[in-house]
Structure 1
Protein backbone atom coordinates (compact mmCIF):
# COMPACT_ATOMS: atom_id res chain seq x y z
CA UNK A 1 0.00 0.00 0.00
CA UNK A 2 1.19 3.48 -0.94
CA UNK A 3 -0.64 6.05 1.18
CA UNK A 4 -0.95 9.58 -0.22
CA UNK A 5 -2.52 12.56 1.51
CA UNK A 6 -3.83 15.93 0.47
CA UNK A 7 -2.90 18.81 2.80
CA UNK A 8 -5.45 21.61 3.13
CA UNK A 9 -8.56 20.64 5.11
CA UNK A 10 -7.36 17.02 5.10
CA UNK A 11 -4.50 17.12 7.59
CA UNK A 12 -5.25 20.51 9.17
CA UNK A 13 -7.95 23.20 9.14
CA UNK A 14 -7.16 25.52 6.24
CA UNK A 15 -9.19 28.32 7.81
CA UNK A 16 -6.47 28.53 10.48
CA UNK A 17 -3.95 29.43 7.77
CA UNK A 18 -6.26 32.12 6.42
CA UNK A 19 -6.68 33.62 9.89
CA UNK A 20 -2.92 33.44 10.46
CA UNK A 21 -2.23 35.20 7.15
CA UNK A 22 -4.78 37.94 7.76
CA UNK A 23 -3.29 38.43 11.20
CA UNK A 24 0.14 38.95 9.64
CA UNK A 25 -1.30 41.59 7.31
CA UNK A 26 -3.11 43.26 10.22
CA UNK A 27 0.13 43.46 12.22
CA UNK A 28 1.85 44.99 9.20
CA UNK A 29 -0.91 47.59 9.04
CA UNK A 30 -0.29 48.51 12.65
CA UNK A 31 3.51 48.60 12.30
CA UNK A 32 3.53 50.55 9.03
CA UNK A 33 0.48 52.80 9.35
CA UNK A 34 -0.65 52.72 12.97
CA UNK A 35 -3.91 50.89 12.26
CA UNK A 36 -5.02 48.81 15.24
CA UNK A 37 -4.17 45.18 14.42
CA UNK A 38 -6.99 43.61 16.42
CA UNK A 39 -9.65 45.79 14.82
CA UNK A 40 -8.09 45.23 11.39
CA UNK A 41 -8.22 41.47 11.81
CA UNK A 42 -11.84 41.60 12.95
CA UNK A 43 -12.70 43.76 9.93
CA UNK A 44 -10.99 41.40 7.48
CA UNK A 45 -12.62 38.33 9.01
CA UNK A 46 -16.03 39.97 8.64
CA UNK A 47 -15.35 40.69 4.96
CA UNK A 48 -14.09 37.14 4.51
CA UNK A 49 -17.29 35.73 5.98
CA UNK A 50 -19.49 38.03 3.90
CA UNK A 51 -17.69 38.13 0.54
CA UNK A 52 -14.97 35.47 0.48
CA UNK A 53 -11.21 35.97 0.16
CA UNK A 54 -11.06 37.91 -3.09
CA UNK A 55 -11.94 41.38 -1.78
CA UNK A 56 -10.62 41.32 1.79
CA UNK A 57 -7.56 43.50 1.29
CA UNK A 58 -9.37 45.89 -1.06
CA UNK A 59 -12.11 46.48 1.51
CA UNK A 60 -9.66 46.88 4.38
CA UNK A 61 -7.44 49.36 2.53
CA UNK A 62 -10.45 51.27 1.23
CA UNK A 63 -11.75 51.63 4.78
CA UNK A 64 -8.54 53.55 5.52
CA UNK A 65 -8.68 55.42 2.19
CA UNK A 66 -5.45 53.73 1.13
CA UNK A 67 -6.64 51.44 -1.65
CA UNK A 68 -4.12 51.04 -4.47
CA UNK A 69 -2.87 48.19 -6.60
CA UNK A 70 0.58 48.45 -5.01
CA UNK A 71 -0.80 48.19 -1.48
CA UNK A 72 -3.01 45.24 -2.36
CA UNK A 73 0.03 43.50 -3.85
CA UNK A 74 1.95 44.27 -0.67
CA UNK A 75 -0.79 42.64 1.41
CA UNK A 76 -0.90 39.57 -0.82
CA UNK A 77 2.86 39.12 -0.53
CA UNK A 78 2.76 39.40 3.25
CA UNK A 79 -0.08 36.90 3.39
CA UNK A 80 1.71 34.42 1.13
CA UNK A 81 5.15 34.69 2.70
CA UNK A 82 4.27 34.82 6.39
CA UNK A 83 5.28 31.96 8.66
CA UNK A 84 1.97 30.52 9.82
CA UNK A 85 1.08 29.02 13.16
CA UNK A 86 -0.77 25.78 12.38
CA UNK A 87 -1.71 22.50 14.06
CA UNK A 88 -2.60 19.14 12.59
CA UNK A 89 -6.02 17.70 13.22
CA UNK A 90 -5.58 15.35 16.21
CA UNK A 91 -6.76 12.43 14.07
CA UNK A 92 -4.19 13.34 11.40
CA UNK A 93 -1.37 13.17 13.91
CA UNK A 94 -2.54 9.74 15.06
CA UNK A 95 -2.84 8.41 11.51
CA UNK A 96 0.57 9.69 10.46
CA UNK A 97 2.17 8.26 13.59
CA UNK A 98 0.48 4.94 12.91
CA UNK A 99 1.63 4.55 9.31
CA UNK A 100 4.96 6.42 9.30
CA UNK A 101 7.69 3.83 8.83
CA UNK A 102 5.12 1.12 8.09
CA UNK A 103 4.08 2.10 4.56
CA UNK A 104 5.38 4.70 2.08
CA UNK A 105 3.71 8.04 2.78
CA UNK A 106 3.43 10.87 0.24
CA UNK A 107 1.85 14.32 0.24
CA UNK A 108 0.31 15.82 -2.92
CA UNK A 109 -1.01 19.37 -2.59
CA UNK A 110 -2.10 22.16 -4.92
CA UNK A 111 -1.34 25.81 -4.35
CA UNK A 112 1.28 28.55 -4.42
CA UNK A 113 4.71 26.99 -4.00
CA UNK A 114 5.92 29.21 -1.16
CA UNK A 115 2.58 29.16 0.64
CA UNK A 116 2.36 25.38 0.59
CA UNK A 117 5.99 24.93 1.65
CA UNK A 118 5.46 27.28 4.59
CA UNK A 119 2.43 25.24 5.65
CA UNK A 120 4.38 21.98 5.44
CA UNK A 121 7.22 23.51 7.47
CA UNK A 122 4.86 24.97 10.09
CA UNK A 123 3.21 21.58 10.56
CA UNK A 124 6.55 19.76 10.70
CA UNK A 125 5.39 17.28 8.07
CA UNK A 126 8.45 16.63 5.92
CA UNK A 127 10.02 13.90 8.13
CA UNK A 128 6.84 11.81 7.93
CA UNK A 129 6.71 11.70 4.14
CA UNK A 130 8.90 10.00 1.59
CA UNK A 131 8.26 12.98 -0.66
CA UNK A 132 6.16 16.15 -0.60
CA UNK A 133 4.86 17.07 -4.06
CA UNK A 134 3.53 20.61 -4.52
CA UNK A 135 1.83 20.34 -7.88
CA UNK A 136 2.51 23.93 -8.94
CA UNK A 137 6.25 23.19 -8.90
CA UNK A 138 5.59 21.07 -11.98
CA UNK A 139 3.46 23.71 -13.70
CA UNK A 140 -0.14 24.68 -13.05
CA UNK A 141 -1.28 22.26 -15.76
CA UNK A 142 -0.19 19.46 -13.43
CA UNK A 143 -2.41 20.59 -10.56
CA UNK A 144 -5.22 18.25 -9.60
CA UNK A 145 -7.22 16.72 -11.18
CA UNK A 146 -4.09 15.98 -13.23
CA UNK A 147 -2.55 12.66 -12.23
CA UNK A 148 0.99 13.81 -13.07
CA UNK A 149 2.31 13.80 -9.50
CA UNK A 150 0.61 10.51 -8.75
CA UNK A 151 2.27 8.97 -11.79
CA UNK A 152 5.63 10.16 -10.45
CA UNK A 153 4.87 8.35 -7.21
CA UNK A 154 3.76 5.21 -9.02
CA UNK A 155 6.97 5.14 -11.05
CA UNK A 156 9.14 5.78 -7.99
CA UNK A 157 7.47 2.94 -6.07
CA UNK A 158 7.19 0.57 -9.03
CA UNK A 159 3.65 -0.19 -7.96
CA UNK A 160 0.22 -0.61 -9.52
CA UNK A 161 -2.47 2.03 -9.32
CA UNK A 162 -4.44 -0.47 -7.26
CA UNK A 163 -1.73 -0.29 -4.60
CA UNK A 164 -2.24 3.47 -4.18
CA UNK A 165 -4.60 5.35 -1.88
CA UNK A 166 -5.36 9.06 -2.03
CA UNK A 167 -7.00 10.75 0.93
CA UNK A 168 -8.41 14.20 0.17
CA UNK A 169 -11.35 16.47 0.85
CA UNK A 170 -12.30 18.27 -2.37
CA UNK A 171 -14.62 16.30 -4.66
CA UNK A 172 -14.27 18.82 -7.48
CA UNK A 173 -10.70 17.71 -8.24
CA UNK A 174 -9.17 15.19 -5.84
CA UNK A 175 -10.64 11.90 -7.03
CA UNK A 176 -12.16 12.06 -10.50
CA UNK A 177 -9.09 11.03 -12.53
CA UNK A 178 -7.63 8.60 -10.01
CA UNK A 179 -10.66 6.35 -9.68
CA UNK A 180 -10.66 5.11 -13.30
CA UNK A 181 -7.01 4.14 -12.92
CA UNK A 182 -7.80 1.84 -10.01
CA UNK A 183 -6.49 3.82 -7.05
CA UNK A 184 -8.56 3.82 -3.87
CA UNK A 185 -9.91 7.30 -3.15
CA UNK A 186 -11.05 8.36 0.30
CA UNK A 187 -12.88 11.61 1.02
CA UNK A 188 -12.48 12.99 4.53
CA UNK A 189 -15.28 15.39 5.42
CA UNK A 190 -13.53 17.73 7.81
CA UNK A 191 -13.06 21.00 5.92
CA UNK A 192 -14.78 23.61 3.87
CA UNK A 193 -15.89 21.07 1.25
CA UNK A 194 -17.45 18.65 3.73
CA UNK A 195 -21.02 19.41 2.70
CA UNK A 196 -20.36 19.75 -1.04
CA UNK A 197 -22.42 17.41 -3.19
CA UNK A 198 -20.09 15.98 -5.80
CA UNK A 199 -20.88 15.93 -9.49
CA UNK A 200 -21.59 12.49 -10.95
CA UNK A 201 -18.36 10.49 -11.10
CA UNK A 202 -16.38 13.00 -9.05
CA UNK A 203 -16.76 11.70 -5.52
CA UNK A 204 -14.41 9.28 -3.79
CA UNK A 205 -15.21 5.60 -3.46
CA UNK A 206 -15.33 5.99 0.31
CA UNK A 207 -16.29 8.95 2.50
CA UNK A 208 -15.36 9.19 6.17
CA UNK A 209 -16.22 11.81 8.81
CA UNK A 210 -12.58 12.22 9.89
CA UNK A 211 -9.24 10.45 9.73
CA UNK A 212 -10.01 8.33 12.80
CA UNK A 213 -11.99 6.11 10.43
CA UNK A 214 -9.19 5.66 7.88
CA UNK A 215 -7.39 2.62 9.35
CA UNK A 216 -10.58 0.55 9.27
CA UNK A 217 -11.22 1.53 5.63
CA UNK A 218 -7.68 0.62 4.60
CA UNK A 219 -7.73 -2.69 6.45
CA UNK A 220 -11.04 -3.69 4.90
CA UNK A 221 -10.06 -2.65 1.38
CA UNK A 222 -6.66 -4.28 1.24
CA UNK A 223 -7.81 -7.46 2.96
CA UNK A 224 -10.57 -7.68 0.35
CA UNK A 225 -8.05 -7.00 -2.44
CA UNK A 226 -5.73 -9.74 -1.19
CA UNK A 227 -8.64 -12.15 -0.85
CA UNK A 228 -9.71 -11.42 -4.42
CA UNK A 229 -6.22 -12.12 -5.70
CA UNK A 230 -6.04 -15.43 -3.85
CA UNK A 231 -9.37 -16.74 -5.12
Structure 2
Protein backbone atom coordinates (compact mmCIF):
# COMPACT_ATOMS: atom_id res chain seq x y z
CA UNK A 1 0.00 0.00 0.00
CA UNK A 2 1.40 3.38 -1.03
CA UNK A 3 1.62 5.87 1.82
CA UNK A 4 4.09 8.50 0.57
CA UNK A 5 4.62 10.30 -2.73
CA UNK A 6 8.01 11.94 -3.20
CA UNK A 7 8.72 14.36 -6.03
CA UNK A 8 11.75 15.68 -7.81
CA UNK A 9 11.57 19.47 -8.20
CA UNK A 10 13.09 20.76 -11.45
CA UNK A 11 11.07 19.88 -14.56
CA UNK A 12 8.81 17.74 -12.39
CA UNK A 13 7.01 20.33 -10.26
CA UNK A 14 8.45 23.47 -11.86
CA UNK A 15 9.96 24.46 -15.18
CA UNK A 16 13.75 24.64 -15.07
CA UNK A 17 13.57 26.86 -18.14
CA UNK A 18 11.34 29.32 -16.25
CA UNK A 19 13.90 29.42 -13.45
CA UNK A 20 16.76 30.02 -15.91
CA UNK A 21 14.88 32.88 -17.55
CA UNK A 22 14.16 34.39 -14.13
CA UNK A 23 17.85 34.20 -13.26
CA UNK A 24 18.91 35.82 -16.51
CA UNK A 25 16.36 38.57 -16.03
CA UNK A 26 17.93 39.27 -12.63
CA UNK A 27 21.44 39.33 -14.12
CA UNK A 28 20.30 41.57 -16.99
CA UNK A 29 18.86 44.02 -14.46
CA UNK A 30 22.14 44.11 -12.55
CA UNK A 31 24.21 44.66 -15.67
CA UNK A 32 21.80 47.34 -16.84
CA UNK A 33 22.42 49.32 -13.65
CA UNK A 34 26.14 49.01 -14.40
CA UNK A 35 25.63 50.66 -17.79
CA UNK A 36 26.27 47.58 -19.90
CA UNK A 37 23.13 47.85 -21.99
CA UNK A 38 19.35 47.76 -21.98
CA UNK A 39 17.88 45.12 -19.68
CA UNK A 40 15.70 43.56 -22.37
CA UNK A 41 18.59 43.33 -24.82
CA UNK A 42 20.88 41.78 -22.21
CA UNK A 43 18.20 39.29 -21.21
CA UNK A 44 17.67 38.23 -24.82
CA UNK A 45 21.41 37.86 -25.34
CA UNK A 46 21.69 35.61 -22.28
CA UNK A 47 18.82 33.41 -23.45
CA UNK A 48 20.29 33.13 -26.96
CA UNK A 49 23.74 32.28 -25.59
CA UNK A 50 22.21 29.63 -23.32
CA UNK A 51 20.34 28.08 -26.24
CA UNK A 52 23.60 27.86 -28.17
CA UNK A 53 25.29 26.23 -25.17
CA UNK A 54 24.72 26.33 -21.39
CA UNK A 55 28.50 26.47 -20.81
CA UNK A 56 30.14 29.73 -19.63
CA UNK A 57 27.17 31.90 -20.58
CA UNK A 58 28.32 34.91 -18.56
CA UNK A 59 31.86 34.77 -19.97
CA UNK A 60 30.47 34.63 -23.48
CA UNK A 61 28.12 37.53 -22.78
CA UNK A 62 31.03 39.77 -21.78
CA UNK A 63 32.95 38.64 -24.85
CA UNK A 64 29.95 39.36 -27.11
CA UNK A 65 29.81 42.85 -25.64
CA UNK A 66 33.59 43.29 -26.03
CA UNK A 67 33.69 43.97 -22.31
CA UNK A 68 36.71 42.92 -20.27
CA UNK A 69 36.05 40.81 -17.19
CA UNK A 70 37.78 38.98 -14.37
CA UNK A 71 37.20 35.65 -12.68
CA UNK A 72 35.76 37.61 -9.78
CA UNK A 73 33.21 39.27 -12.10
CA UNK A 74 31.99 35.88 -13.28
CA UNK A 75 31.92 34.47 -9.76
CA UNK A 76 29.81 37.41 -8.58
CA UNK A 77 27.29 36.91 -11.38
CA UNK A 78 27.06 33.19 -10.65
CA UNK A 79 26.39 33.94 -6.98
CA UNK A 80 23.74 36.51 -7.91
CA UNK A 81 22.10 33.99 -10.23
CA UNK A 82 22.07 31.19 -7.67
CA UNK A 83 20.88 33.32 -4.77
CA UNK A 84 18.17 35.38 -6.44
CA UNK A 85 14.60 34.67 -5.36
CA UNK A 86 13.11 33.55 -8.66
CA UNK A 87 9.81 34.40 -10.25
CA UNK A 88 8.53 30.86 -10.82
CA UNK A 89 5.34 28.88 -10.39
CA UNK A 90 4.35 25.26 -10.05
CA UNK A 91 3.18 23.62 -13.25
CA UNK A 92 -0.59 24.03 -13.70
CA UNK A 93 -1.39 20.48 -12.57
CA UNK A 94 0.68 20.50 -9.38
CA UNK A 95 -1.43 22.23 -6.72
CA UNK A 96 -4.61 20.31 -7.53
CA UNK A 97 -2.64 17.05 -7.42
CA UNK A 98 -1.02 17.88 -4.08
CA UNK A 99 -4.36 18.87 -2.57
CA UNK A 100 -5.94 15.63 -3.75
CA UNK A 101 -3.07 13.55 -2.37
CA UNK A 102 -3.24 15.33 0.98
CA UNK A 103 -7.00 14.84 1.11
CA UNK A 104 -6.45 11.11 0.62
CA UNK A 105 -3.93 11.01 3.44
CA UNK A 106 -0.68 10.57 1.53
CA UNK A 107 2.54 11.94 2.99
CA UNK A 108 4.32 14.25 0.56
CA UNK A 109 8.00 15.00 0.07
CA UNK A 110 10.58 16.50 -2.26
CA UNK A 111 14.10 15.28 -2.98
CA UNK A 112 15.98 17.72 -5.17
CA UNK A 113 19.52 18.08 -6.43
CA UNK A 114 21.17 21.36 -7.34
CA UNK A 115 23.15 23.97 -5.48
CA UNK A 116 21.58 24.46 -2.07
CA UNK A 117 21.25 28.23 -2.37
CA UNK A 118 19.41 27.95 -5.70
CA UNK A 119 17.10 25.15 -4.59
CA UNK A 120 16.23 26.85 -1.31
CA UNK A 121 15.46 30.10 -3.16
CA UNK A 122 13.11 28.18 -5.47
CA UNK A 123 11.40 26.52 -2.51
CA UNK A 124 10.95 29.88 -0.75
CA UNK A 125 9.46 31.44 -3.88
CA UNK A 126 6.98 28.54 -4.16
CA UNK A 127 6.10 28.47 -0.43
CA UNK A 128 6.79 24.76 -0.83
CA UNK A 129 6.97 24.04 2.89
CA UNK A 130 3.21 24.63 3.14
CA UNK A 131 2.53 21.73 0.79
CA UNK A 132 5.10 19.08 1.74
CA UNK A 133 5.77 17.11 4.91
CA UNK A 134 9.50 16.81 4.23
CA UNK A 135 11.90 18.45 1.77
CA UNK A 136 15.48 17.31 1.22
CA UNK A 137 17.97 19.42 -0.72
CA UNK A 138 20.68 16.86 -1.35
CA UNK A 139 23.41 19.49 -1.64
CA UNK A 140 22.96 20.20 2.07
CA UNK A 141 24.03 16.60 2.73
CA UNK A 142 27.08 16.99 0.49
CA UNK A 143 27.73 16.99 -3.24
CA UNK A 144 28.53 13.28 -3.09
CA UNK A 145 24.96 12.61 -1.93
CA UNK A 146 23.20 14.04 -4.97
CA UNK A 147 21.03 11.50 -6.76
CA UNK A 148 21.41 8.71 -7.69
CA UNK A 149 22.92 8.22 -4.20
CA UNK A 150 20.38 6.61 -1.91
CA UNK A 151 21.06 8.62 1.26
CA UNK A 152 18.28 11.19 0.72
CA UNK A 153 15.77 8.38 0.20
CA UNK A 154 16.90 6.73 3.41
CA UNK A 155 16.47 9.99 5.30
CA UNK A 156 13.04 10.81 3.92
CA UNK A 157 11.80 7.26 4.52
CA UNK A 158 12.77 7.58 8.17
CA UNK A 159 11.29 11.07 8.53
CA UNK A 160 7.99 10.05 6.95
CA UNK A 161 7.96 6.76 8.88
CA UNK A 162 7.11 4.57 5.90
CA UNK A 163 8.66 1.51 4.30
CA UNK A 164 10.38 1.66 0.91
CA UNK A 165 7.58 -0.45 -0.58
CA UNK A 166 5.16 2.28 0.49
CA UNK A 167 6.96 5.04 -1.44
CA UNK A 168 6.59 6.40 -4.97
CA UNK A 169 9.19 8.70 -6.49
CA UNK A 170 8.22 10.92 -9.42
CA UNK A 171 11.00 12.50 -11.49
CA UNK A 172 11.99 13.41 -15.02
CA UNK A 173 15.72 12.76 -15.41
CA UNK A 174 16.65 9.30 -16.78
CA UNK A 175 20.25 9.77 -15.67
CA UNK A 176 19.54 9.75 -11.95
CA UNK A 177 15.87 9.73 -10.91
CA UNK A 178 15.01 6.06 -11.38
CA UNK A 179 18.13 4.19 -10.34
CA UNK A 180 16.90 4.13 -6.74
CA UNK A 181 14.60 1.22 -7.64
CA UNK A 182 17.74 -0.86 -8.20
CA UNK A 183 18.71 -0.24 -4.57
CA UNK A 184 15.40 -0.15 -2.71
CA UNK A 185 11.89 -1.35 -3.69
CA UNK A 186 10.64 2.16 -4.38
CA UNK A 187 8.23 2.52 -7.28
CA UNK A 188 9.39 5.15 -9.78
CA UNK A 189 7.42 7.23 -12.24
CA UNK A 190 8.80 9.35 -15.06
CA UNK A 191 6.87 12.49 -15.93
CA UNK A 192 7.44 13.87 -19.40
CA UNK A 193 7.63 17.64 -19.07
CA UNK A 194 9.88 18.14 -22.13
CA UNK A 195 12.49 19.40 -19.68
CA UNK A 196 16.15 20.19 -20.15
CA UNK A 197 17.28 16.69 -19.07
CA UNK A 198 14.80 14.63 -21.08
CA UNK A 199 17.40 13.29 -23.52
CA UNK A 200 19.81 11.95 -20.92
CA UNK A 201 20.64 8.24 -20.94
CA UNK A 202 19.24 5.89 -18.30
CA UNK A 203 21.82 5.05 -15.64
CA UNK A 204 22.81 1.40 -16.12
CA UNK A 205 19.64 0.97 -18.15
CA UNK A 206 17.41 1.23 -15.05
CA UNK A 207 14.08 2.56 -16.23
CA UNK A 208 10.99 3.87 -14.46
CA UNK A 209 8.13 1.55 -13.55
CA UNK A 210 5.55 3.86 -15.12
CA UNK A 211 5.58 6.87 -17.45
CA UNK A 212 3.06 9.73 -17.46
CA UNK A 213 2.60 13.05 -19.22
CA UNK A 214 1.03 14.98 -16.36
CA UNK A 215 -0.02 14.66 -12.73
CA UNK A 216 -3.67 14.20 -13.60
CA UNK A 217 -2.57 10.94 -15.22
CA UNK A 218 -0.71 10.07 -12.03
CA UNK A 219 -3.87 10.46 -9.95
CA UNK A 220 -5.70 8.13 -12.33
CA UNK A 221 -2.85 5.63 -12.09
CA UNK A 222 -2.92 5.83 -8.31
CA UNK A 223 -6.66 5.15 -8.22
CA UNK A 224 -6.03 1.86 -10.00
CA UNK A 225 -2.87 0.94 -8.08
CA UNK A 226 -2.65 -2.72 -7.13
Same structural fold, with TM-score higher than 0.5 when normalized by the shorter chain: yes
Q: Does 1:201 align with 2:202?
A: no
User: Structure 1 length normalisation: TM-score?
Assistant: 0.90
Match of 2:138 among 135, 139, 160: 135
Structure 1 equivalent of residue 98 of structure 2 = 96
The residue matched to 2:208 in structure 1 has which SS?
A: coil
Structure 1 equivalent of residue 5 of structure 2 = 3
Mapped to 2, the partners of 1:141 and 1:198 lie a distance apart of 19
The alpha carbon displacement at 1:70 in A equals: 1.3
User: Structure 2 length normalisation: TM-score?
Assistant: 0.92
Whether contact under 8 Å (1:179, 1:185) holds in the other structure is no
The residue matched to 1:70 in structure 2 has which SS?
A: helix
The alpha carbon displacement at 1:99 in A equals: 1.2
Match of 2:119 among 96, 116, 120: 116
Structure 2 equivalent of residue 229 of structure 1 = none
| Number of equivalences | 221
Mapped to 2, the partners of 1:171 and 1:186 lie a distance apart of 10
List runs of 5+ in structure 2 lacking aligned partners.
Answer: none
Choose between structure 1 and 2: higher helix proportion.
Answer: 1
Whether contact under 8 Å (2:172, 2:192) holds in the other structure is yes
The residue matched to 1:33 in structure 2 has which SS?
A: coil
Structure 2 equivalent of residue 182 of structure 1 = 185
Structure 2 equivalent of residue 32 of structure 1 = 34
In the TM superposition, what whole-angstrom CA distance separates every residue of 1:80-121 from its partner, at most 9, and x where no partner exists? 111110011011121111112521101100011111011011
The alpha carbon displacement at 1:211 in A equals: 1.4
CA-atom RMSD in angstroms: 1.5
Mapped to 1, the partners of 2:48 and 2:128 lie a distance apart of 31
Whether contact under 8 Å (1:172, 1:198) holds in the other structure is yes
- Matches for 1:146-157 after TM superposition, within 5 Å: 146-157=149-160
The residue matched to 1:76 in structure 2 has which SS?
A: helix
Mapped to 1, the partners of 2:160 and 2:32 lie a distance apart of 50
The alpha carbon displacement at 1:217 in A equals: 1.8
Mapped to 2, the partners of 1:200 and 1:82 lie a distance apart of 36
The alpha carbon displacement at 1:33 in A equals: 2.6
- Matches for 1:12-51 after TM superposition, within 5 Å: 12-51=14-53
The residue matched to 1:129 in structure 2 has which SS?
A: coil
Structure 1 equivalent of residue 216 of structure 2 = 212
The alpha carbon displacement at 1:64 in A equals: 3.6
